Chain A
Amino acid sequence: DQQVKQNSPSLSVQEGRISILNCDYTNSMFDYFLWYKKYPAEGPTFLISISSIKDKNEDGRFTVFLNKSAKHLSLHIVPSQPGDSAVYFCAASVPGNTGKLIFGQGTTLQVKP
């Protein structure tokens, strides 16, 4: 039962352009969403999060949008840089389900110089 889905395994963009990574979920009880970036052989690095009571959160080059009616969130990276090349995971948590994040399968982003 894949409650969090990242349907695009990979994405390639040109340096300086916008990268849009998408995530869909099925559980309407999710109340908190996060994006992580991961390099091979390292742990995930937290990027940005959003509460279910909001529809947008911005932090520097990173913006996360949440569309609850569509059960969809997206991460926008503007402008994209070669150092952004990594695997991006979206994750979600359920109230009361302490300490447990449910992850998507990840999207590999390649930013070309």
Chain B
Amino acid sequence: KAGVTQTPRYLIKTRGQQVTLSCSPISGHRSVSWYQQTPGQGLQFLFEYFSETQRNKGNFPGRFSGRQFSNSRSEMNVSTLELGDSALYLCASSFVQSTDTQYFGPGTRLTVL
């Protein structure tokens, strides 16, 4: 069974631009969570989608948004990029319940110049 895939793997943007990252979950998984990993803050939860609805949200500004499609694929968008948004963005998929194990994709490395 194929794992979680994320595209693109690397991205370079400049301040003020916006970016869209994509995540395809493991087949059969309906929940997709997004995380930001930085050296200073570690792995921080951004939001979670299930059945095209955002079920949970972390403590990030409104510039960070996401959506999920009917096939469970998910995208996250960051508008008006700041230097501090440079990070590894990870998505993880799981079946349904909060106690279901999350499986992570390889991540998208975003660099903001």
Residues of A within 8 A of B (CB): 31-32, 34, 36, 41-46, 49, 51, 89, 91, 93-106
Residues of B within 8 A of A (CB): 4, 6, 31-33, 35, 42-43, 45, 47-50, 55-56, 58, 88, 90, 92, 94, 97-99, 101-107, 109
In the assembled complex, the Cα of A24 lies from the Cα of B107 at a distance in Å of 27
Is A100 in contact with B109, judged by CB distance below 8 angstroms? no
Is B99 in contact with A31, judged by CB distance below 8 angstroms? yes
| Chain A CB within 10 Å, residue with most, of B32, B48, B98, B109 | B98
In the assembled complex, the Cα of A34 lies from the Cα of B45 at a distance in Å of 15
**Set A46, A94, A96: member contacting B102, Cβ < 8 A:** A46
Rounded to whole Å, the gap between the CB of B61 and the closest CB of chain A is 18
In the assembled complex, the Cα of A49 lies from the Cα of B4 at a distance in Å of 19
In the complex with contacts A43-B104, A45-B104, A94-B42 CB distance below 8 A: no
Is A100 in contact with B99, judged by CB distance below 8 angstroms? no
